[in-house]
Amino acid sequence: MTKLTFIAFDGTRFDIDAPNGSTAMENAIRNDVPGIDAECGGACACATCHVYVDEAWREIVGDPEPMEEDMLDFAFDVRPNSRLSCQIRISDKLDGLVLSVPERQA
Amino acid sequence: MERTKTDVVIVGAGPVGLFAVFELGLYDLKCHLIDILDRPGGQCAELYPEKPIYDIPAWPVITGQGLTDRLMEQIEPFSPTFHFNRMVQKLDRLHEGGFVVTTDEGEEIECKVVVIAAGGGSFQPKRPPVPGIEAFENKSVFYSVRRMDDFRDRDVVIVGGGDSALDWTLNLQPIAKSLTLVHRRDQFRAAPDSVSKMMALREAGKVGFTMGQVSGIVGRDGQMEGVLIKGNDGDVELKADRLLPFFGLTMKLGPIADWGLNLHENLIPVDTAKFETSEPGIFAIGDINWYPGKLKLILSGFHEAALMTQAAKKIVHPDDRVVFQYTTSSTNLQKKLGVA
């Protein structure tokens, strides 16, 4: 299990034990993190699981692939640390990862 | 306007609506389908045409578009009538039984049974989270171009980096007073040909480009005077009286909410024998319905279509005895499928 934290828009912290190999989005849905809609169910096809990666983690999490970058065009208030949480796969190197939920999804 | 008559109107031409045509067709029920998209397939066509689906029985893997194409082939013998680019606006019950379904273009279809297979709802343009944008909609802010003349001699701002944004940049540039394209980055997912044409206009000074995201609208009483753009290097205001944001589509329940059906968190509760709603003669199948244990799977929707058909048949032809038959062995069914 890998430690994963979501910070909802209202500041509520969700500390989650995430199985390796799952996506950050799946863990948000399973733990009822508000503000992650994941309308398309993880197909990188809707931009409704948008998160901001904590600055300390940006380099380790990495940049989006071109397809994800295209999907981010449909998200709102996109920042340099924006990612779609369905494209972040949990592994040991992400132990302690912190993701923030934006004010609203697309 | 002339009123069309049919047995069943299906709201939504996604996989479940399409398969309902097959099941209903086996029992001689004719269908009209209405969908807000311009083609069949629903979410499969709009959200994930190229993405694989792994849980369709007997298809270890199939894409959203592949599944749609196969279903269209499967229902071809029943010649359904499609009404694309239409939203169902109104549903009225007739005194003599049955319904009249009215589309947003005013077409009327009379039928005995209505099947709501509307999935997550109808696809509608996404509204950017700009404070007060509602007041400007359909006056200065448009999510599609219905009449190009509305943009003639106007200062137009187009937001987005996909095909809609780029196509309208190229089409409106010759008639607009000025045209500025706003996109959050300097890369565009639109067709390369449109992108290079836009770049050429940009270099010629005929199209403006601002990198950033829309943060506000300046103006009053629906008349826009400018658009505020939050960019990486600070904020700018663009003079504009027309704004076209292209942020793709989202799903909304739409006018179905006003049909007097019982709703459960924007889903339509049904019984699990007939998949009928709280209103007799109106059924709901696929992702839009709810019952204890509901799973939003395409295959569940297929099952629901088969059971709904048994009940629909009794409404349309109350005097016929329904004989259950298998397509494998029934010559009668095989004739309908054009294989016997």
Domain boundary among B247, B270, B294: B247
Domain range enclosing B78:
3-124+250-336
In this prediction, residues B205-226 reach a mean pLDDT of: 95
Question: Are residues B189 and B178 located together in one domain of the fold?
Answer: yes
Residue A21 has φ and ψ, to the nearest 5°, of: 95, -20
Residues B10 and B32 sit within 8 Å (Cβ to Cβ): yes
Structural domains in chain A, sorted by start = 2-100 (3.10.20.30)
How far is CA A91 from each of CA A18, A22, A84, A97, rounded to the nearest angstrom? 9, 8, 16, 10
B281 shares a domain with B311:
yes
B48–A69: do the CB atoms touch at under 8 Å? Answer: no
Q: Do A73 and B126 touch (CB under 8 A)?
A: no
Cα–Cα distance measured from residue A81 to residue A3, given in angstroms and rounded to the nearest whole number: 20
Instruction: Note the pLDDT of residue B1.
Output: 63
**Residue B83 near residue B99 (C-beta atoms within 8 A):** no
B251 to A74: CB separation less than 8 angstroms, yes or no: no
The domain spanning residue B198 has which CATH number?
3.50.50.60
Give the pLDDT confidence of B152-201 residue by residue, as tens digits: 999 999 999 999 999 999 999 999 999 999 999 999 999 999 999 999 99
pTM: 0.78
| Closest listed residue to residue A101, CA positions, set A68, A73, A69, A79 | A79
Closest residue in A to B130 (Cα) is A76
Same domain, B114 and B15: yes
What's chain A's average pLDDT? 93
Which candidate from A40, A72, A104 shows the least CB-CB separation from B48?
Answer: A40
Residues 44-73 of A with CB under 8 A from B: 45-47, 69-70, 72-73
Residue of B nearest to A40 (CA): B47
Local confidence band at B149 (pLDDT 50, 70, 90 cut-offs): very high
State pLDDT tens for residues A42-89.
Answer: 777 788 999 999 999 999 999 999 989 999 998 888 999 999 999 999
3 state SS for B62-94 = EEHHHHHHHHHHHHHHHCCEEECCCCEEEEEEC
- d(Cα A35, Cα A29) in Å, to the nearest integer? 10
Q: Looking at the structure, tell me whether residues B144 and B240 fall in a common domain.
A: yes
Q: Which residue, B186, B212, B247, sits at the end of a domain?
A: B247
Q: Quick check: B77 contacting A, CB < 8 Å?
A: no
Q: Total structural domains in chain B?
A: 2
Q: Which residues of B touch A78 (CB under 8 A)?
A: 184, 213
Which chain A residues are closer than 8 Å to B184 by Cβ?
Answer: 72-73, 78
Q: Give the mutation candidate from B250, B253, B295 for the A interface (greatest A CB count, under 10 A).
A: B250
Lowest mean pLDDT among A67-71, B1-5, B90-94, B166-170: B1-5
The verdict on B106 and B134 lying in the same domain is no
Does residue B233 sit in the same domain as residue B303? no
Residue after which a domain boundary falls, among B212, B247, B282: B247
A78 close to B (CB below 8 A): yes
Query: Within an 8 Å CB–CB cutoff, is residue B291 touching chain A?
Result: no
With pLDDT > 70 as the criterion, what percentage of chain B qualifies?
Answer: 100
Confidence grade of residue B323 (pLDDT, cut at 50, 70, 90): confident
Q: Which residues of A touch B187 (CB under 8 A)?
A: 69
Do residues B113 and B18 both lie within one domain? Answer: yes
Report the relative pairing of strands B282-284 and B99-103 from DSSP bridges: unpaired
Burial of residue B181 (number of CB atoms within 10 Å: 0-12, 13-18, 19+): buried
- B145 φ/ψ angles, rounded to the nearest 5 degrees: -105, 110
All residues of chain B having their beta carbon less than 8 Å from the beta carbon of residue A103 are 129
Q: Are residues B238 and B322 in the same domain?
A: no
CA distances from B17 to A54, B30, B39 (A): 43, 13, 13
Structure tokens at B137: 């909609």
Provide the pLDDT for residue B49.
85
Neighbouring C-alpha atoms within 13 Å toward the C-beta of B115 = 40
Which element (helix H / strand E) includes A66? helix A66-72
Instruction: Indicate if the pLDDT at residue B76 is higher than 90.
Output: yes
Same domain, B148 and B233: yes
Q: CA torsion B77→B78→B79→B84, rounded to 10°?
A: -120
pLDDT classification of A39: cutoffs 50, 70, 90:
confident
Both tokens of residue A74?
Answer: 């449909």
